[in-house]
C-alpha cells in the first residue's frame, strides 16, 4: 500500500509512479499503463499526509463557522465546497458553537493541517485570532469580523441597509412597538444589527420602543425568546428576529398561543434561508446571498489563473429585502392589553 509497492509491481521507480499519479505527461504511454494497472490491482491509495508533507502544499481549504445547524452557514459551506471540488480542492469544516475557545482550537487545527486557505465565518472572533491569522502565511478571509490586510480578505454584509429596509417597511405600516430577538448579543457582528435597528428607528420613528430578548441560535432559542417576550405585557406589534431560524421558532410559539401573524403581530427574519419560504406564514426577511459569499470566499482563498490569490480586498455585499406574508399593518387597538 505504498508507492514503493506499486513501483515494484510495475517494475519502475517510485519517481515514475509518482509522475503517473500526478498526471505528468512526460511518462511513456506503455509505462503509464503498467503503473495504472499495478495501482488498480493493489487498490493503492496515496497517503495524503505524505503527499502534502513532501509537496509542501495542500489543496485543502479550511472553513470555520459558528453554527452548522443554522442553514445559513451550511449554505455558505456548500457553495465553497462546490467551487472547491470543481477546481480539485478539498474542504474541511469546523464548527465553533460560538465559543472563542473552539474557534482558537479550530484555527490551530487548520493551520496544523497546512490548509491552502482559511475562511472564518464566525461572530466570535477576538483580536488574538485575528493577529495570529494575519501572520499566517496563507490567504485568509474573514466574514463580518477582522479587517483586510496583506493576506486577509474581508467580506461583510451591509446589515445596516437590511435593517433599515425592514424598519422603513414596518414603520410605514404603523408599527412603533418593537421587539428584537437575537442571540449572543455581546458579539460584535450581531451587535451591529441591533445598533442599526436603534439608529434607523431613531430616524424613522423616534418615539418607537424596542424590547430585546436574547436566546440561543436555534429553533428552540427563538421559541424560548418569544415565550420570554410574551411573559410580560405589552405584546409588541412587530417582532424582528436576528435571523430566520430564530424567527421560525418565534412563529411556532405565537401559533400555539393563537396569536395571529401578521394580523396580531408582524414577524421578520434575516438571511432568507430556504425554510423561510416553507414556514407558515412565509417570512418577510432580508436575503443574504450565500452563493455569492461562497464564491467570493473561494476566489479570495485560491490562486486564480494568473497565479495569485486575490487576497487583501474588502468586499461589501448588499442584502435584499424580501416581503412575504409574516408582516402587515400594526393592529390598531391593543387587543392584548391587560
Partner DNA sequence: TTGAAAGCGCTACCAG
Partner DNA sequence: CTGGTAGCGCTTTCAA
- Please give the residue ranges that form the binding site for a second copy (CB under 8 A): 43, 45-53, 58, 68-69, 71, 74, 78, 81, 90, 92-93, 95, 108-109, 111-114, 132, 135, 218-220, 223, 248-249, 251-252, 255, 274-275, 277-280
Closest approach of DNA to the CB of residue 108, in Å: 12
Q: Render 31-96 in DSSP notation, one character per residue.
A: HHHHHHHHHHHHT----HHHHHHHHS---EEEEEES-TTSHHHHHHHHHHHHHHHHTT-EEEEEE-
Q: Exposed, middle or buried: residue 55 (CB in 10 Å: 0-12, 13-18, 19+)?
A: exposed
Radius of gyration of the chain (CA): 25
Q: Which is nearer to DNA, 19 or 156 (CB)?
A: 19
Whether 62 and 94 have beta carbons less than 8 Å apart is answered as: yes
Residue 42 interacts with DNA (CB under 7 A): yes or no: no
Residue 12 interacts with DNA (CB under 7 A): yes or no: yes
Buried b (16+ CB within 10 A) or exposed e, 273-292: bebbeebebbbbbbbbbbee
Closest approach of a second copy to the CB of residue 277, in Å: 8
Find out whether the peptide bond into 99 is cis, omega within 30 degrees of 0: no
Task: Give the three cell numbers for residue 294.
Answer: 461562497
Nearest to 328 by CA among 286, 265, 271: 265
- Rule CB under 7 A: choose which of 8, 36, 42, 47 binds DNA: 47
Q: How many residues bind DNA (CB under 7 A)?
A: 29
Residue 13 interacts with DNA (CB under 7 A): yes or no: yes
Closest approach of a second copy to the CB of residue 64, in Å: 13
Binding partner of 15, given DNA, a second copy, none, CB within 5-8 angstroms per partner class: DNA
Q: Which is nearer to a second copy, 90 or 168 (CB)?
A: 90
Closest approach of DNA to the CB of residue 252, in Å: 49
Nearest to 72 by CA among 252, 297, 245, 298: 245
Q: Which is nearer to a second copy, 29 or 112 (CB)?
A: 112
Helix (H) or strand (E) holding 212: strand 209-214
Closest approach of a second copy to the CB of residue 131, in Å: 9
Please identify, among the stretches 6-14, 121-129, 156-164, 321-329, the one whose residues bind DNA according to the rule CB under 7 A.
Answer: 6-14
- Rule CB under 7 A: choose which of 37, 40, 41, 54 binds DNA: 54
Torsion angle defined by CA atoms of residues 13, 17, 19 and 21, in that order, rounded to the nearest 10 degrees: -170
- Rule CB under 7 A: choose which of 3, 163, 259, 265 binds DNA: 3
Q: Which residues bind DNA (CB under 7 A)?
A: 1-4, 11-16, 18-19, 21-22, 26-28, 30-32, 44, 46-47, 50-51, 53-56
Amino acid at each position: 500500500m505504498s508507492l514503493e509497492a506499486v513501483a515494484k509491481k510495475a517494475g519502475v521507480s517510485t519517481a515514475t509512479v509518482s509522475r503517473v499519479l500526478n498526471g505528468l505527461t512526460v511518462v511513456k504511454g506503455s509505462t503509464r499503463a503498467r503503473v495504472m494497472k499495478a495501482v488498480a490491482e493493489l487498490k493503492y491509495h496515496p497517503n495524503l499526509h505524505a503527499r502534502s508533507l513532501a509537496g509542501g502544499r495542500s489543496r485543502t481549504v479550511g472553513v470555520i463557522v459558528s453554527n452548522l445547524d443554522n442553514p445559513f452557514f451550511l449554505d455558505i459551506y456548500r457553495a465553497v465546497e462546490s467551487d472547491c471540488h470543481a477546481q480539485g480542492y478539498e474542504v474541511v469544516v469546523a464548527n465553533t458553537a460560538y465559543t472563542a475557545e473552539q474557534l482558537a482550537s479550530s484555527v490551530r487545527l487548520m493551520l496544523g493541517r497546512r490548509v491552502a486557505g482559511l475562511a472564518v465565518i464566525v461572530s466570535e472572533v477576538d483580536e488574538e485570532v485575528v493577529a495570529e491569522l494575519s501572520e499566517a502565511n496563507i490567504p485568509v478571509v474573514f466574514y463580518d469580523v477582522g479587517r483586510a490586510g496583506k493576506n486577509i480578505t474581508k467580506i461583510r454584509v451591509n446589515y445596516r441597509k437590511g435593517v433599515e429596509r425592514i424598519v422603513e417597511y414596518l414603520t410605514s405600516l404603523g408599527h412603533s412597538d418593537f421587539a428584537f430577538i437575537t442571540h449572543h448579543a455581546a458579539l460584535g457582528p450581531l451587535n451591529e444589527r441591533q445598533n442599526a435597528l436603534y439608529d434607523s428607528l431613531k430616524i424613522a420613528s423616534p418615539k418607537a420602543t424596542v424590547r430585546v430578548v436574547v436566546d440561543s441560535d436555534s429553533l428552540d432559542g427563538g421559541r424560548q425568546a418569544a415565550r420570554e417576550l410574551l411573559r410580560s405585557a405589552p405584546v409588541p406589534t412587530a417582532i424582528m428576529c436576528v435571523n430566520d431560524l430564530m424567527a421560525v421558532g418565534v412563529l411556532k410559539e405565537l401559533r400555539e398561543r393563537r396569536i395571529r401573524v401578521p394580523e396580531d403581530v408582524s414577524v421578520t427574519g434575516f438571511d432568507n434561508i430556504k425554510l423561510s419560504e416553507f414556514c407558515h406564514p412565509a417570512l418577510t426577511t432580508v436575503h443574504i446571498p450565500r452563493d455569492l459569499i461562497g464564491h467570493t470566499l473561494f476566489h479570495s482563498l485560491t490562486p486564480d489563473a494568473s497565479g495569485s490569490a486575490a487576497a487583501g480586498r474588502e468586499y461589501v455585499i448588499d442584502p435584499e429585502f424580501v416581503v412575504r406574508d409574516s408582516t402587515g399593518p400594526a393592529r390598531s387597538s391593543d387587543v392584548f392589553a391587560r
